[in-house]
């Protein structure tokens, strides 16, 4: 069994920039992570570990590293098929997972799995999940784990959600993560003409509400929040802060890796992609969260001019 440090969990709503952050962070030489191997081979822990060890080999490390960049090759992954095998219900719960949802059996499975995923020379497990934060659940399993919440302008998040083929909101509320709308949400959705923009914003709002609720469940010294816009503006400064929070070195080699990664802020696309009415619908639903994280309103959160 490899020696290991407490895990680092990257959390946040989907389409918030956490994937880019995760992929860059995975290039730190002292972190272990879950690769796409475990997406297709949930029992492939030994192969995943062998690949991580191979990255540090002078002979094959460069060839494997190219797989972190090139499409279709080795990449860090959320690997929900793997985590579902370890913790049934983890991948798509209809609500956030809480500390009281964790059974002793699942806690034991999670701890053992993280130990198996950690390889010599890379003692810190780095694990990314999206959607519900699951922080109360994971904190109970790993009391010393650290959490990094990647947050992004919700208008850009919803605009991105509307352009992916896996969003289930196109099927209406029955496909909407199994959630029942509140009476107030139902009325607003009907008033919007059953707008998919409004529906996407409601789903994101529920995710962010869960994050606000879950954050106090984790001691403040174990929680770090990172705005994706700040990461794009200052990747080196952002990662220096993250490395300090995670008790990791920030050497010149890793700094150069971050410098070369090429973070891009594409938040302005929602203004071009959505009509003015859709923009107003979006802001109207997201006002509390835009205000909370310091994003300036373009339309004052009002539906009418």
pLDDT for 214-260, tens place per residue?
Answer: 999 999 999 999 999 999 999 999 999 999 999 999 999 999 999 99
| Domain range list for the chain | 8-172+218-264
Q: Is this model's pTM higher than 0.85 or not? A: yes
Kind and range of the H or E run holding 134? none
Say which CATH topology domain 8-172+218-264 has. Rossmann fold (3.40.50)
Determine the pLDDT at residue 71. 40
Question: Residue 87 has what pLDDT?
Answer: 98
Each residue's pLDDT tens digit, 279-303: 999 999 999 999 999 999 999 877 7
* Strand residues in the chain grouped as ranges (E): 8-11, 31-33, 124-128, 146-151, 223-227
Averaged pLDDT for residues 144-168:
96
Helix (H) or strand (E) holding 249: none
- Angle formed by the axes of helices 154-161 and 196-214, nearest 10°: 130
């Amino acid at each position: 069994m490899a020696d290991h440090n407490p895990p680092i969990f990257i959390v946040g709503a989907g389409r918030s920039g956490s994937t880019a952050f995760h992929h860059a962070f995975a290039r730190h030489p002292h972190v272990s992570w879950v690769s796409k191997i475990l997406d297709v081979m949930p029992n492939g822990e030994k192969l995943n570990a062998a690949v991580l060890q191979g990255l540090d080999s002078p002979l094959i490390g460069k060839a494997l590293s190219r797989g972190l960049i090139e499409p279709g090759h080795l990449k860090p992954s959320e690997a929900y098929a793997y985590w579902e095998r370890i913790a049934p219900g983890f991948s798509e719960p209809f609500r956030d997972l809480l500390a009281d949802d964790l059974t002793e059996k699942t806690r034991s499975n999670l701890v053992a799995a993280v130990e198996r995923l950690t390889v010599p020379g890379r003692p810190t497990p780095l694990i990314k999940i999206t959607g519900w934060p699951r922080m109360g659940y994971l904190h109970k399993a790993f009391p010393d784990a650290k959490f990094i919440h990647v947050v992004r302008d919700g208008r850009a998040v919803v605009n991105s959600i509307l352009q992916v083929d896996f969003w289930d909101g196109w099927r209406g509320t029955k496909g909407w993560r199994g959630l029942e709308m509140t009476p107030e949400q139902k009325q607003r959705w009907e008033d919007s003409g059953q707008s998919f923009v409004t529906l996407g914003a409601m789903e994101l709002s529920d995710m962010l509400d869960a994050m606000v609720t879950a954050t106090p469940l984790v001691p403040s010294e174990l929680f770090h929040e990172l705005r994706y816009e700040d990461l794009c503006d200052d990747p080196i400064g952002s990662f220096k802060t993250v490395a300090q929070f995670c008790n990791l070195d920030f050497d010149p080699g890793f700094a150069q890796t971050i410098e070369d990664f090429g973070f891009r802020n594409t938040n302005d696309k929602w203004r071009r992609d959505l009509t003015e009415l859709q923009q107003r619908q979006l802001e109207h639903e997201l006002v509390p969260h835009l205000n909370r994280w310091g994003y300036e309103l373009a339309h004052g959160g009002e539906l009418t001019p």
